[in-house]
Chains A and B, each alone.
Chain A
């Protein structure tokens, strides 16, 4: 008797008891769906966090962390990066862009209304490297940066706040007491953690003219190739520490460590929730075994008839084993579909990426099959051992 024949027979018997079959599969369905959702969200989240923290992988932030000694002596700086520093960093071999900025908090006024905002003075690389796109109006030009023109690009949240969504292009706002002309509005940010904040951007030179700021507070290096990130970061700190005659005040973050840390956290989470799902699968498997045992008893006479017609023990064993595998496999498939759907909905509504890898899907199918075999073998064996004469007499 062929495998195909057995599968057809098993499907018939599953169909004959639809409600019971579905209830039996429920444990497997929930277990598999839970695994799929958890792994998809875990992997998606891990990938997203890594890319958010490590940027797109080709930028590295340089930060200033004065030593205790320097702190005590008051020998530390609010804005630790000078224009000369930036020029030196730009000279580094693999550096494609140096993003530099400085920020202040201030009040912005439009006629009678006002709002608190962060004012960021930026250099020319800032917008491009941080992927800030203009939704309306125009961005800064080289002339704006060179001439220190008092023009500004504001965030969408600012447009909401001060202009109630109307076009602010050409309007004059006052930053402190200084008038600035709005030339552009940024796109609304997307992503789970991107809450639109009220931001005002100025060319750094304009910021210097207006507030008397010298130097930059934040510097990020962009390199062409991710592999150059680490060596370039080290070069940059060397250059800066030499220029400022400091020991180790200029540092870069070690992205690998952070990424490994995130990986560890998500691995622990995935393991915990995965084991809960595993227990649910185990319970599901026991449910399958239970129903198969009931089914064997109910079908005692059928087994007797089949044996009297020449079915061997092996053929009966195989028939019932295929049936339990079909049961768990259908359960597993429904679970995969349900889990994928749920993961998709979660990523749709929570704006959280989910990753359903084929390995997880194949793994879930193989595992469902395994459960079918492990928990099906006992009932199938019981069926195969039934005595044909007693079975034929069974009422």
Chain B
């Protein structure tokens, strides 16, 4: 499903060039539930953005579902984000002026779905995350956990093959985190590939496999059983 080959990402700040990802090679199969862990600043988010087609690697190749997306044009990448990928962010990233239902409809708006289809599928999606009775609410009328559920419903609505969550429980308390992670497990059982970035070992336990990122490279095991934060 995901094949990364010597992915390098570097930023140029003035005269200095900083290499954030230093050649990452890995494969993630369809239907996996992967957690990415590693110290702060190690490049987890940078890697996620490349996997999510929000960013392009400086060098290296990236195959997503057999397609070389590292050579895709901007509009092609936008289409991949729209159809194949669902994002869940730590800060929820909901549009404050739109109701839960309208927020969930957004990806379908860009997919060109009809109003009727959008409303139907968005309410199905919200029902699935247990927010059937909150559809007309604005984001600031919802709790953190509920907001994250809306974000997950939005990520689901175009039926993507891959869901990417960058610290989805980072802004939530423990009980709410458990509920959100259980939702991911459920989605994974239904066949969706899920990648979650997290600092919390309890969250990583929900995954089938953990990838460790350290200083822009992959490592199999944590060095001393944990990470400095």
CA distance A72 to B109 in the complex (A): 92
B residues with a Cβ closer than 8 A to A are 49, 52, 54-55, 74-75, 78-79, 81-83, 87, 89, 93-95, 97, 106-107, 109-112, 154, 158
A9 nearest CB neighbor, chain B only: B109
A115 within 8 A of B: no
A138 within 8 A of B: no
Q: Which of B54, B74, B112 contacts A308 (CB 8 A)?
A: B54
A252 within 8 A of B: no
List residues of chain B with CB within 8 A of the CB of A301: 93
* A contact residues, total (Cβ < 8 Å): 22
List residues of chain B with CB within 8 A of the CB of A309: 81-82, 87, 106-107, 110, 154
> Which residue of B74, B78, B79 has the most chain A CB atoms within 10 A of its CB atom?
B78
Cβ–Cβ contact A389 & B110, under 8 A: no
CA distance A307 to B95 in the complex (A): 12
Q: Which of B52, B55, B74, B109 contacts A312 (CB 8 A)?
A: B74
Cβ–Cβ contact B97 & A16, under 8 A: yes
CA distance A62 to B111 in the complex (A): 78
Cβ–Cβ contact A311 & B78, under 8 A: yes
CA distance A313 to B97 in the complex (A): 22
Cβ–Cβ contact A310 & B54, under 8 A: no
List residues of chain B with CB within 8 A of the CB of A210: none
Cβ–Cβ contact B111 & A310, under 8 A: yes
Q: Which of B78, B79, B111 contacts A307 (CB 8 A)?
A: B78
A302 nearest CB neighbor, chain B only: B95
A329 to B: closest C-beta gap in Å: 22
B82 to A: closest C-beta gap in Å: 2
CA distance A305 to B79 in the complex (A): 14
List residues of chain A with CB within 8 A of the CB of B106: 305-306, 309
Q: Which of B55, B78, B107, B158 contacts A389 (CB 8 A)?
A: B55
Instruction: Specify the main secondary structure of chain B where it touches its partner.
Output: helix
A311 nearest CB neighbor, chain B only: B110
Kindly supply a per-residue 1/0 record for chain A positions 296-323, scoring 1 wherever the CB is within 8 Å of any chain B CB and 0 otherwise: 0000011011111111111100000000
Cβ–Cβ contact A392 & B89, under 8 A: yes
Cβ–Cβ contact A305 & B95, under 8 A: yes
Cβ–Cβ contact A1 & B89, under 8 A: no
A164 within 8 A of B: no
Cβ–Cβ contact B89 & A313, under 8 A: no
CA distance A305 to B110 in the complex (A): 12
Cβ–Cβ contact A312 & B75, under 8 A: yes
CA distance A321 to B93 in the complex (A): 24
List residues of chain B with CB within 8 A of the CB of A388: 54
Cβ–Cβ contact B79 & A310, under 8 A: yes
Cβ–Cβ contact A1 & B95, under 8 A: no
List residues of chain B with CB within 8 A of the CB of A306: 106, 110
List residues of chain B with CB within 8 A of the CB of A302: 95
For the A-B complex with A309-B106, A310-B110 known, give 12 more contacts whose Cβ atoms are closer than 8 Å: A12-B97, A301-B93, A308-B54, A308-B81, A308-B87, A309-B81, A310-B111, A311-B110, A312-B74, A315-B110, A388-B54, A389-B55
CA distance A313 to B106 in the complex (A): 16
Cβ–Cβ contact A5 & B95, under 8 A: no
CA distance A385 to B176 in the complex (A): 37
